[in-house]
C-alpha cells in the first residue's frame, strides 16, 4: 500500500470531489490517462452532486450520466499528487501496473478571504478556496 496527500491545494473542493468520485477504483495508468484527457479537453468529468445548470456532454454516456465539465486546473493538481503516490509506490517496491486507487478523497480546506474595493464604499468578496487531497494505492495480487 502507498499513500500521498496534498494539503492546501488551490483548487475548488467541488471540482476535486467530482474528479475523485470518478478515479476511485481505477488502475493507476487508467487514472493518469483520464486526467490527461480532461486537461486536454478530450474527456469531461461527470458532475453528479454539483450539477445545477450544467451543460450536457455527449461523451458521458459511458458513465451513464448527462451533466459534466472540464475542470482542467483541478485535474492538473490531482495529476501531480497521483504522480507523487506513484513514486511512493515504486519506492516501496510495489508493481505500479497492478496498483489500484482504493481511497481518494477531497476535503475542504480553509478559505483565504480577500475583498475588491468598489464604488460608493462597497466591496466585493474575492475568496480563494483551498482543498486537501488524500490518495491511497493498493497492489492487487496478479
pLDDT tens-place string over residues 1-47: 999 999 999 999 999 999 999 999 999 999 999 999 999 999 999 99
Amino acid 141: pLDDT: 85
SS3 at position 42:
coil
Is residue 114 within 8 Å of residue 128, measured between CB atoms? yes
User: Per CATH, is 2-139 categorized as 3.90.470.10?
Assistant: yes
Sequence ranges of the domains in the chain: 2-139
Q: Which residues contact 119 (CB under 8 A, 6 or more apart)?
A: none
Mean pLDDT of 77-84: 97
Cell numbers at residue 11, please?
A: 483548487
**Which of 85, 122, 120, 124 has the alpha carbon at shortest distance from 101?**
85
Amino acid at each position: 500500500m502507498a499513500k500521498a496527500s496534498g494539503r492546501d491545494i488551490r483548487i475548488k473542493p467541488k471540482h476535486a470531489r467530482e474528479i475523485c468520485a470518478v478515479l476511485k477504483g481505477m488502475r493507476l495508468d487508467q487514472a493518469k490517462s483520464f486526467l490527461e484527457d480532461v486537461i486536454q479537453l478530450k474527456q469531461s468529468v461527470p458532475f453528479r452532486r454539483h450539477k445545477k445548470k450544467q451543460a450536457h456532454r455527449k461523451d458521458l454516456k459511458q458513465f451513464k450520466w448527462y451533466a459534466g465539465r472540464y475542470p482542467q486546473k483541478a485535474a492538473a493538481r490531482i495529476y501531480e499528487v497521483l504522480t507523487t503516490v506513484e513514486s511512493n509506490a515504486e519506492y516501496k517496491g510495489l508493481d505500479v501496473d497492478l496498483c489500484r486507487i482504493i481511497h481518494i478523497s477531497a476535503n475542504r480546506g480553509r478559505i483565504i478571504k480577500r475583498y475588491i474595493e468598489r464604488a460608493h464604499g462597497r466591496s466585493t468578496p474575492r475568496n480563494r478556496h483551498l482543498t486537501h487531497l488524500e490518495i491511497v494505492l493498493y497492489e492487487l495480487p496478479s
